[in-house]
Amino acid sequence: MLSTYSTADKVLLALDCIIFGFDQHELKILLIKRDFEPEKGKWSLIGGFLKRTETLDEAANRILQHLSGLDDIYLEQLYTFSEVDRDPGERTLSTAYYALINSENHKQVANGAYSAQWFNIKEAPSLIFDHGQMVEKAILRLRRRAVTKPIGFELLPEKFTMLQLQKLYEAILDEKLDKRNFINKVNALDILIKLDEKDMTSSRKGSYLYQFDKQKYDQKIEEGFTFKL
């Protein structure tokens, strides 16, 4: 056991945020142009460094808000990357987080100084360091979470059609879903509110709009309900 901290190696701890969005058709990721060396001018995840007075969650929220203008969104710690040579600038560990937002509501990211841009997840450019590995892990985590927790609703507007919900899950899972089976599974969960309103852009008759009933979901969880889609 160490009797003093003075002989211990000092390393930097970075945080990198994988921000997923959905534009009613495609799963997207928000990237920025790196504005300092090494790898200046190349595409990167949104990131920064932990301060002495912060927890990891506090730092992730600060970085996310400062570099993108986004606040109060779903954010989950993913994994810590610790390869010795992962950052050529300095010995640096990185704890990755992923965030979920409705990209339709955030087409214009507030802080334009970092050239932030949305990319289709399948057409995203190559990223610096091990950021590509971070994205791969985040996609796998998102897929697991989406079928065991209702986090997919974080990517939708407050009111949505059943078709929009199906397209979202098809984008996340990267597979075509049978419409009837999907609707039956969603209805069986009994956690949506069917509204009297309709989306009239999809057809002449229109499609009914729904809302996620978080209060009912929380109550069902307390009663032993398990979300499975």
Confidence of residue 127 (pLDDT cuts 50, 70, 90): very high
Q: What is the mean pLDDT of residues 215-221?
A: 95
Q: What angle do CA 215, 217, 222 make, to 5 degrees?
A: 100
Residue 190 CA to residue 15 CA, distance in Å, equals: 37
Q: Furthest-apart CA pair in the chain: how many Å? A: 75
**For the chain, how far is it from start to end, CA to CA, in angstroms?**
48
pLDDT of residue 3: 63
71/48: higher pLDDT: 48
Residue 210 CA to residue 195 CA, distance in Å, equals: 6
pLDDT of residue 105: 66
pLDDT, one tens digit per residue, over 74-126 is 999 999 999 999 999 999 999 999 999 887 766 666 455 567 889 999 999 99
Query: What is the enclosing helix (H) or strand (E) of 209?
Result: strand 207-212
pLDDT of residue 114: 66
Q: CB count, 10 Å around CB of 125?
A: 10
List the chain domain ranges. 12-146, 150-222
Whether omega for the bond prior to residue 38 falls within 30 degrees of 0, making it cis, is: yes
CATH number at 150-222:
1.10.10.10
Q: What is the mean pLDDT of residues 5-17?
A: 91
pLDDT of residue 111: 54
Q: Is the pLDDT of residue 54 over 60?
A: yes
Average pLDDT, the chain: 91
Q: Is the pLDDT of residue 2 over 60?
A: no
Superfamily of domain 12-146: Nucleoside Triphosphate Pyrophosphohydrolase (3.90.79.10)
pLDDT of residue 1: 53
pLDDT, one tens digit per residue, over 34-43 is 988 899 999 9
User: What is the per-residue burial (b if ≥16 Cβ within 10 Å, else e) of 192-212?
Assistant: beeeeeeeeeeeeeebebbbb
Percent of the chain surpassing pLDDT 90: 77
pLDDT, one tens digit per residue, over 153-208 is 999 999 999 999 999 999 999 999 999 999 999 999 999 999 999 998 877 888 99
pLDDT of residue 106: 64
